[in-house]
């Protein structure tokens, strides 16, 4: 899918996403992010109800879309607020982060979802790291217990979706690699190695069954819960079962990087490097490094990008750069991604976009959900990527 120079010019003119990124100033972007988040808080005050507690995207009219406490994305906004507090040390951001985090307390007992890590570790986990609040610690431990209850010892993995019982028996999606961080934390916090063992087993099974020879990943693998045997493999949110859904590749990269950090197991580092190389050297990689929603989709001027996949990838690369011999390569590629996301092609003008930082993310193209819109998790991983880059360059003396 290599593009001609002429085609790239057309994409730039039509899509507005090929603009050459300006020199990246991380502090400037973080300060612009602070302005946007402040605006989003005002919009939330105007819209929120007791049942809708956290922003996720925008609706068809472009208005702020809020979600209830049990929805999988609820941890990202409080997580963004915690990161803003970490950056500014301004008590205003701590107070707002605490308020949005506390609203999720009931979800520590939610064992009906594999997304407990997204919901609770991205919120309470960030808060616990910054405040050492004993209440947060207890809630996180219970959250880990709820997540661990979904583990099947025959499959050696955590069940993902409860829905789709007519389609799957024990579905495990690549996204679930992200939720393992909660289990690793709980193992260290409690001294109970059960959490750690579950996380490692899940990562091993995912490595064995989700990945193809070219190091791209299926989205979903369905297992027989009684035998642990694979029933089928699919890519539910991608172009086709054998295609490489962009955000799925990013989840895997991030997941195996954190697994290496927590375990030191060499095969996890090797897998993270293989995924990174797959992404960076894919023939369909765009000039601005922001992927199309699936790496195998036919590229046209109006083909949606996925800024959320880009943000997750960049954040993962900046951590991977700390462990790999290819540090400079990963750091450089991640910085190219962040520079593009920080450009006017993707970063919203102040007090627009309902307060979201980034434009041009894709939720689920096959289902027609959240196409070319802002997404709260794109913002979360973008802020995380900025902070990781800032710390990385400080350590390197840049």
Catalytic residue list: 115, 175
Evaluate whether 320 touches 345 at the Cβ level (below 8 Å). no
Question: Which among 109, 110, 141, 112 is positioned nearest to 124, based on CA atoms?
Answer: 141
- Residues 262 and 199: beta-carbon distance below 8 Å: yes
CB-count burial class (<10 Å; 0-12, 13-18, 19+) for 38: middle
Q: With helix as H, strand as E and coil as C, how does the chain read?
A: CCCCHHHHHHHHHHHCCCCCCCCCCHHHHHHHHHHHHHHHHHHHHHHCCCCCCEEEEECCCCCEEEECCCCCCCCHHHHHHHHHHHHHCCHHHHHHHHHHHHCCHHHHHCCCCCCHHHHHHHHHHHHHHHHCCHHHHHHHHHHHHHHHCCEECCCCEECCCCCCCCCCCCEEEHHHHHHHHHHHHHHHHHCCHHHHHHHHHHHHHHHHHCECCCCCECCEEEECCCCCCEEEEECCCCCCCCCCEHHHHHHHHHHHHHHHHHHCCHHHHHHHHHHHHHHHCCCCCCCCCCCECECCCCCCCCCCECHHHHHHHHHHHHHHCCCCCCHHHHHHHHHHHHHHHCCCCCECCCCCHHHCCECCEEEECCCCEEEEECCHHHHHHHHHHHHHHHHHHHHHCC
């Amino acid at each position: 899918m290599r593009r001609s120079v002429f085609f790239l010019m057309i994409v730039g003119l039509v899509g507005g996403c090929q603009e050459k990124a300006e020199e990246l100033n991380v502090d400037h972007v973080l300060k612009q992010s602070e302005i946007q988040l402040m605006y989003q808080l005002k919009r939330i005050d105007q819209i929120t109800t007791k049942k809708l507690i956290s922003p996720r995207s925008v609706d068809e009219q472009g208005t702020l879309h809020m979600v209830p406490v049990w929805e999988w994305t609820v941890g990202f906004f409080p997580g963004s607020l915690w990161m803003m507090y970490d950056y500014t040390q301004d008590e205003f951001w701590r107070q707002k982060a605490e308020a949005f985090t506390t609203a999720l307390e009931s979800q520590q007992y939610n064992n009906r979802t594999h997304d407990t890590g997204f919901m609770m570790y991205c919120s309470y986990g960030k808060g616990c790291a910054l405040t050492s609040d004993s209440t947060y610690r207890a809630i996180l431990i219970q959250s880990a217990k709820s997540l661990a209850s979904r583990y099947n010892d025959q499959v050696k993995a955590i069940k993902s979706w409860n829905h789709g019982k007519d389609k799957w028996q024990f579905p495990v999606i690549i996204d679930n690699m992200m939720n393992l961080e909660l289990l690793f934390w709980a193992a260290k916090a409690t001294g109970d190695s059960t959490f750690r063992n579950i996380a490692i087993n899940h990562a091993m099974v995912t490595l064995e069954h989700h990945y193809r020879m070219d190091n791209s990943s299926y989205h979903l693998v369905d297992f027989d819960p009684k035998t642990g045997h694979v029933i089928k493999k699919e890519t539910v949110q991608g172009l086709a079962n054998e295609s490489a859904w962009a955000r799925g590749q990013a989840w895997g990269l991030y997941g195996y990087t954190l697994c290496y950090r927590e375990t030191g197991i060499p095969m996890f580092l090797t897998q993270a490097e293989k995924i990174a190389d797959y992404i960076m050297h894919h023939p369909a990689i765009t000039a601005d490094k922001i992927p199309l929603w699936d790496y195998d989709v036919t590229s046209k001027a109006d083909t949606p990008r996925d800024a959320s996949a880009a943000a997750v990838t960049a954040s993962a690369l900046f951590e991977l750069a700390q462990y790999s011999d290819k540090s400079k390569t990963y750091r450089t590629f991640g910085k190219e991604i962040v520079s593009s996301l920080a450009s006017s092609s993707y970063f919203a003008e102040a007090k627009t976009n309902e307060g979201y930082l980034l434009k041009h993310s894709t939720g689920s193209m096959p289902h027609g959900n959240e196409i070319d819109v802002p997404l709260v998790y794109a913002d979360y991983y973008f802020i995380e990527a900025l902070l990781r880059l800032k710390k990385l360059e400080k350590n390197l003396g840049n």
